[in-house]
Structure 1
Amino acid sequence: MRNRGATVIIENGRIALIKRTKPYRTYFVFPGGGIESGETPEEAAIRETYEELGVNVQIQRLLKKLELNGTQYFFLANIVSGTFGSGTGEEYNHTSVKRGTYEPMWIEIDHLPLIEVRPKEIVDILLSL
């Protein structure tokens, strides 16, 4: 179990997600990853979002803290610079069939109930806003 920091980025009625495609399954996740030693959850969320999406973000507030395979922190954030989709994290450099693919994309908020987004608790919050 590892604690994680993640961002929830909403722009023009769309949300930034990462499409994960593995053998026999496809699902979507919020940009983020493990909190490294000495990092705050916010710092991890900012770093991971840059690595995965290629954008710098400003944290607005904590949206939700979940206990799910460790503590996961989800922060509402805004893009302040960078080019969406230009991430260079290890997800893009160390690919394998088992690990699957990572594809940053914008998804209309109205489409969230039609796809598998993990964790579902965050989708439920977004749909109630």
Structure 2
Amino acid sequence: MMRDRGSAVLIENKKVALIKRIKNDVTYYVFPGGGIENSETPKEATKREAYEELGIDIDVKGCIAEIDFGGKQYFFLGDIVGGTFGTGQGEEFSDENKGSYIPMWVNIDNLSSIDVKPKEVAEKIQSLFK
């Protein structure tokens, strides 16, 4: 049973914040985000997850994509308003079985040459910032 997820699309200086995942020798990239708790709105979940995974406070803006991918995934544009990128303390970082989580900034022009999940959102970002 997959639950709905909220994810943050953070863009600064033509770069987008992604989390590089390495698991079972496979490397791919995901947008920071996670499951929506019962009492939360998708926006609230996105704000909380950005803090847990990246160590930053964000102002959540409009939703640029809704994708059905084992549950509904919402992708919100966001602006960083506080905190320090890369200082997240979410449980992901301490669970060795989940592989590695490396927060990083990726140039929007490079999105098509790496494995970003879901690809539709990467393509949408590229089209928005052509």
Question: Considering the TM-score relative to the shorter chain, is it more than 0.5?
Answer: yes
2:69 corresponding residue in structure 1? 68
How far apart are 1:87 and its partner, in Å? Answer: 0.2
Q: Number of aligned residue pairs: give it.
A: 127
1:108 corresponding residue in structure 2? 107
1:82 corresponding residue in structure 2? 83
1:35 corresponding residue in structure 2? 36
TM-score (norm 2): 0.96
2:23 corresponding residue in structure 1? 22
Q: Deviations over 1:63-92 (max 9, x none)?
A: 111111000000000000000000000011
Tell me, in whole angstroms, the C-alpha distance in 2 between the residues paired with 1:8 and 1:42. 12
Q: Give the unaligned 5+ runs of structure 2.
A: none
Q: Give the unaligned 5+ runs of structure 1.
A: none
Tell me, in whole angstroms, the C-alpha distance in 1 between the residues paired with 2:25 and 2:15. 27
Tell me, in whole angstroms, the C-alpha distance in 1 between the residues paired with 2:76 and 2:47. 10
How far apart are 1:24 and its partner, in Å? Answer: 2.3
Q: Please give the residue correspondences for 1:111-126 in structure 2 after superposition, counting only pairs within 5 Å.
A: 111-126=110-125
How far apart are 1:42 and its partner, in Å? Answer: 0.3
How far apart are 1:117 and its partner, in Å? Answer: 0.3
Aligned residues: CA RMSD: 0.7
Tell me, in whole angstroms, the C-alpha distance in 1 between the residues paired with 2:27 and 2:49. 21
Tell me, in whole angstroms, the C-alpha distance in 2 between the residues paired with 1:44 and 1:104. 18
Confirm or deny that 1:95 pairs with 2:96. Answer: yes
How far apart are 1:14 and its partner, in Å? Answer: 0.4
Task: Give the match's secondary structure for 2:125.
Answer: helix
Q: Deviations over 1:67-122 (max 9, x none)?
A: 110000000000000000000000112222xx100000000000101100000010
Tell me, in whole angstroms, the C-alpha distance in 2 between the residues paired with 1:68 and 1:91. 20
Tell me, in whole angstroms, the C-alpha distance in 2 between the residues paired with 1:69 and 1:18. 20
Structure 1 runs of 4+ aligned residues shifted over 2 Å read: none
TM-score (norm 1): 0.96
Q: Deviations over 1:35-84 (max 9, x none)?
A: 01110000000000110000000011111111110000000000000000
